[in-house]
Amino acid sequence: MSNEALGPPPTTGPLDNPLRTGLRLGRTPEPCTMVIFGASGDLTSRKLVPALYNLARERRLPAGFSVLGFARRAWDDNAFREVLHAAVTANSRSGPAEPDLWASFAEGIFYHRASFDEPAGYTTLGARLAAIDSERDTGGNRVFYLATPPEAYAEIVAQLGAHGLNRSSNGGWTRIIIEKPFGHDLESARALNRQVLAVFDEQQVYRIDHYLGKETVQNLLVFRFANGIFEPVWNRRYVDHVQLTVAESIGVEDRGGYYDRAGALRDMIQNHLTQLLTLTAMEPPVAYDPDAVRDEKVKVLRAIRPISPAEALTATVRGQYGPGSISGHPVGGYRAERAVASTSQTETYVALRLFIENWRWAGVPFYLRSGKALPRRVSEIAVQFRSAPTMLFADTPVNAIEPNVLAIKIQPDEGISLTFGSKVPGQAQIRPVSMDFRYGTSFGVASPEAYERLLLDCMLGDGTLFTRRDEVEASWALLTPILQGWAAAEPLPFPNYEAGTWGPAAADAFMARDGRAWRRL
């Protein structure tokens, strides 16, 4: 791809972050080649290549940037380009591929046919990369992206190491992006870390969680630490509790085989919601650099009060959806999904309560919930503040005062809402009202897709929004005892909530025992 085709990088744009003064502001990555293992898969077509195309469209990619697909399908370069052209047209947030831009982008797309466990395929991969370095002037810089089933990770990493591909022979840099799930419990996560770090240095490893690429999630640090009015009340003295919700209106679709081995705790809580929790609760980092930010996230995880296997049934709630309807359309139950066992005990809904035992948050419960086949697709962080004293209004008709809530909305409508009480004109009544901020309205531009941000960060060598080894293991150390407690318990009477409802009745009772209730979304 030529500089003339892409033009000069803009000085500002939706991918810029005012905190990122050292690593990325106004920068374009060095030329590099991205090798996508699992290039024929759904992730490549739906997310990765559309994200790369949009980065090219916004003039964020360097001259010579190249993509090399690695898969078993009997394709050649031209066939792979045709597949990706259709994928971009179908999945790009910017609409169908623009002919001139696509023609320039496609010049750097190549395909390498081999199996993940085929040693000869890695020998020829090395030769192919050397040829691309020469033809495209990529300087030996490489990103390996593992867009494969998790069981292939260890084999691919070992083969890359055995063939010397963990280091560039041309003096460039080499990085590897590993998709979630990173292990299925603490022991497997530690084992995978040992396998990966026997081949790559930690600084080369980018464990990706696409939730951290969402604009609102990134804005948490700006919201908390670039505004003087919120941080003074972001503590146990003023906060009653915090609710973190990731709700999905879809079922498991075609992921039944994977999901029935995983469940909601592994699929959503261990990564997405744990990340939201750490960013919400962390202390200010000493600097805005990758390790300083991740140090503070790890401290949060290590401060969480452990839940023993014996406590798992009282500190959590599990659910599994049965037949129902969503938006007026009938939905079958989870056990009727393809590749799901007819007697499955896999949870499609989970709620749990965590306590962070540090000076800032002692005694403040953090409630996490996630589920499938719920009424709406919505993700948010809701900070509920302590209620104001009611003495002033105790003997008046306006003595019912609802607490203030700060809701950080992650999807689908990205923004922030603050709820406070106001007197109704002409009536002796207090009613909650909201002040709302929305990204689209305020900035007039569409937010970039999460993968756009994260792929660019990796190419720039910025690991801030990626997960470090100790963070992964700390998260699994917290949740593995819960899985053990569930495995030892008696089977639950699944299904226990209808598709299209907000989860099992036990989840409402769980909150009611604490004198609280889930937010109505």
Residues identified as active-site: 272
Query: Per residue in 36-59, is it b (16+ CB within 10 Å) or e — as a string?
Result: bbbbbbebbbebbbbbbbbbbbbe
CA distances from 135 to 6, 140, 324, 490 (A): 18, 11, 57, 62
Closest CA to 193 of 455, 463, 479, 468: 468
**Backbone φ, ψ for residue 332 (5° rounding):** -75, 165
Q: Give the DSSP H/E element, type plus range, for residue 415.
A: strand 415-423
Region class of 50: left (phi > 0), else alpha (psi between -120 and 50), else beta: alpha
Q: Give the DSSP H/E element, type plus range, for residue 206.
A: strand 205-207
Token pair 């495995």 in the structure block, residue: 487
Return the structure tokens found at 441. Answer: 């309205």
- Please calculate the CA angle 502-504-508 and round it to the nearest 5 degrees: 80
Cβ(159)–Cβ(37) below 8 Å: no
- Contacts (Cβ under 8 Å, ≥6 apart) of 303: 356, 357, 358, 361
Return the structure tokens found at 376. Answer: 């709406």
DSSP class of residue 304?
A: B
Return the structure tokens found at 177. Answer: 């992006």
